[in-house]
Amino acid sequence: MRLQHLHLLLAIAQTGSLRASAQILNVTQPALTKALRQLEDEFGTALVLRMPKGVRLTSAGELLAARAGTAMRELERGREEVAWHLRHAEAQVTVGVSPVAAILLAPGAVERFGVRWPQVRLCVRDTLYPRALEQVRAGELDLALGPLPTGGAGRDLLVQPLFDSDIVIAARRSHPLARAKKLAKLVDADWVLTGPAGGPGDPRNLRFDPSGERSPQVRLECESFATLLALMPRLDVVGIMPKGFFERYGPAMDLIELPIADTLGSTTIHALYRADTPLTVPAQRLLDAFVAEAAAQRNIVPH
């Protein structure tokens, strides 16, 4: 099989005509017919069904064309990467990551990226939404990974969901409510808000009281999880944490996950970038690495 055979199948799938396919490929129709016959002989089956008004791929032809499309895209990606590599000896990609993305995705993704793009300088910044969206819009970040506002990101940004991050309710081990199993038991507790009001770390998003008459009281606000980890072991406050973040740092700080039986839900982590400006080749490859790492995490992270 040659590359021209792959182009041939894709052209037929696109045009539904041998004559039009020959024109696209800049070959004569007899030469195209000969190449098609060689390909069918190689696979031992008909790949094209001739009809009174054109041609179409058989089911076997469609299967092969799908593979051909993938192969051609990978070849084009290879050409693109080599061309970029020859033109740019150095480059930089700046990505903003939320705490969950930093813990669960960044190590594997950065490693994947570094193996293929060692000459690219990578700048990883800690970001919390909605500031991350502003930084992407301003061009300070090539892309960002994290949750989205309730109203979405807006049409000026492209959004790609990566994985769902479960949340837990955490407190220090000596907290009087450390054994609470119902959210209703925590409505009068002192809560900590992490990040902006209305965000994933806001306890007022949880359903404590079906009637909606009672809501938790926020006694402490922390902009970062680093501050949260510094304060929670010393105070009788209750807070929301991403499960992956808690499992990594909570026990070492003598924090525990409260055995809440109520459904707490999860937060979807997205990749987002500007719609009006194509990602650079290295930025796109970094995004590919994060997507691959997220796919791997979905198979090992409990939901």
| % helix, strand, coil for the chain, step of 5 | 45, 25, 35
Q: Is the dihedral of CA 213, 219, 223, 224 positive or negative?
A: negative
What string of pLDDT tens digits covers the 303 residues of the chain? 688 888 899 999 999 999 999 999 999 999 999 999 999 999 999 999 988 888 999 999 999 998 888 788 778 767 766 777 677 656 789 999 988 888 889 999 999 999 888 888 899 998 877 788 889 988 889 999 998 877 777 888 999 999 898 999 999 999 999 999 999 999 999 999 988 788 888 898 888 876 667 788 899 998 888 889 999 999 999 999 988 889 989 999 999 999 999 988 888 999 999 998 888 888 999 999 999 999 987 765 443
Domains in the chain: ranges and CATH: 3-87 (1.10.10.10), 102-164+277-298 (3.40.190.10), 165-267 (3.40.190.10)
DSSP lists the bridge partners of residue 229 as: none
Q: Between vectors from CA 165 to CA 160 and to CA 166, what angle results, nearest 5°? A: 150
Beta-carbon count within 10 A of 117 CB: 20
Tokens describing residue 64: 């092969």
Tokens describing residue 37: 């016959």
Cβ contact 290:109 at 8 Å: yes
Q: Give Cα 256 distance to the centre of its chain.
A: 29
